[in-house]
Every structure is written in structure tokens, then in C-alpha cells.
Amino acid sequence: MTWEIALFIIGITLACNVGWLINNWIRAKHGYPLEDEWGGTTEKPDTAKEARLAGQNAKLMETMEKMQDRMVVLERIVTDKGYRVAEEIEALRDAPVRESSDNGVPLNLGNKENA
């Protein structure tokens, strides 16, 4: 093998690699996906999307903590002995109202002496 053929092969290999580097530099500069050695592409990481997802995650965690606190309170109410009292109060609300002549304290709206 002569030196001319070896230099020609080295030159072509060097030109291909430099072209590949320039191509990826231009793609990265303009925001296009980068090519790897096997022709596949690698997307540029989207930091805005990551920040938005982190914000949503924080809101969801805060909501979940609030819901946990509410669930603890509800569990305490249900297991509390006072729950029976609440059921009795609800039963009294559903009971029929008795008619009586005494409807409470008279207001005496027509009497000006109380004003």
C-alpha cells in the first residue's frame, strides 16, 4: 500500500468526522435533535417541561397532604363515641314536629316601650 492511498483514506475519514461534528453543532445551535454514531437521534432536554412537572408534583403533594389530614379527622369522627350522638341528633331532625300553643318567646314588635 502506498502512502498516497493511506493519506487518502485518512483524509476521507477525517472529513467525515469533521462533517459529522459540524452537523451536530449546527443542529444543537438551532435546537434540533442530535445524531449519534449509529444514525439515531437524541432529543434536547426540555427544562421548561421539567419545571412545569415539578410544580404540578408539588401541588399534588400538597393536595395529598391536605386530603390525608381530612381523612384522619374523618376517621376520628367515625370511630369516636360522639358519632352515636350525631346519629341521634339526625334521627331527631327526621322526627315529626309536634304542634304546640307555645312557639317560643313573644317578640312584642308592636310595643314601643321595649324599643
pLDDT in tens, the chain (115 residues): 688 899 999 999 999 999 988 988 888 888 777 777 676 777 666 677 888 899 999 999 999 999 998 998 888 777 777 667 777 778 778 777 665 555 566 666 666 665 4
CB 15 within 8 A of CB 8: no
Type of residue at 111: N
CB 42 within 8 A of CB 33: yes
CB 77 within 8 A of CB 83: yes
CA dihedral in degrees (25, 29, 32, 38; nearest 10)? 10
Q: What is the distance, to the nearest Å, from the Cα of residue 100 to the centroid of all Cα atoms in its chain?
A: 57
CB 35 within 8 A of CB 27: yes
Q: Rounded to two decimals, what is the model's pTM?
A: 0.34
